[in-house]
């Protein structure tokens, strides 16, 4: 039961810890739901679900593409007049520069959360959409849904997040492996976190 005393204690915690705990819970919820409902319930393995091993070329290219999406997104933001600099820093480094913040930020928000999101949004939702609609429709709907769930961002930025979702879904569509969009997503998020902390150092 959440009491006023517990809420008061929670707000006394450094915001970084609250962010990291929230990331752990989010990942656990996504992985757990997919595992218990789809994999265990359906009697299939993670490999059958879509985690086909990418070849070395796909592995490296996925990470490079993910990192390259950062300046592309930055360029689109500038052209559209969207500025999220201080907002992003406030979310990713609420306590300023700390080595623990950088390490756990990359581990949880840079790697674990993207993989969990790809499991849910591409492995489950996009795959379901593809059984009902053509590729273009499924890509657009999946991207729109991915943008909408990032409501913590200002509304113009949701469109950009949606574009990222389309890029990840397209990578999954073309390769059939969830590792490819997962690595792209992880490369993108990790590069953003490292850039934020680099600027603070």
Whether the pLDDT of residue 17 is over 90: the answer is: no
- pLDDT tier at 2, thresholds 50, 70, 90: very low
SS3 91: helix
* Full-model pTM: 0.88
SS3 (DSSP) at 145 = helix
Phi-psi region at 102: left, alpha or beta (left = phi > 0; alpha = psi -120 to 50): alpha
DSSP 97: S
Chain segment 65-117, per-residue pLDDT in tens: 999 999 998 888 888 777 766 677 777 888 888 898 899 999 999 999 999 99
């Amino acid at each position: 039961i959440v009491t006023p005393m517990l809420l008061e204690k929670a707000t006394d915690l450094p915001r970084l810890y609250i962010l990291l705990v929230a990331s752990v819970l989010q990942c656990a919820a996504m992985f757990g739901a997919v595992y218990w409902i789809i994999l265990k319930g359906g009697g299939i393995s993670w490999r059958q679900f879509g985690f086909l091993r990418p070849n070395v070329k796909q592995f490296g290219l996925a990470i490079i593409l993910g990192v390259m999406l950062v300046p592309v997104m930055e360029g689109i933001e500038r052209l559209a007049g969207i500025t999220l600099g201080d907002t992003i820093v406030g979310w990713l480094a609420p306590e300023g520069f700390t080595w623990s913040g950088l390490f756990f930020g990359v581990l949880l928000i840079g790697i674990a959360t993207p993989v969990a999101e790809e499991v849910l949004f591409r492995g489950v939702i996009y795959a379901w959409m593809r059984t009902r609609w053509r590729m273009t429709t499924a890509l657009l709907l999946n991207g729109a849904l991915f943008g909408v769930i990032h409501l913590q961002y200002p509304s113009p930025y949701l469109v950009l997040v949606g574009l990222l979702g389309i890029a990840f879904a397209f990578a999954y569509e073309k390769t059939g492996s969830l590792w490819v969009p997962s690595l792209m997503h992880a490369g993108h998020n990790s590069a953003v976190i490292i850039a934020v902390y680099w600027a603070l150092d």
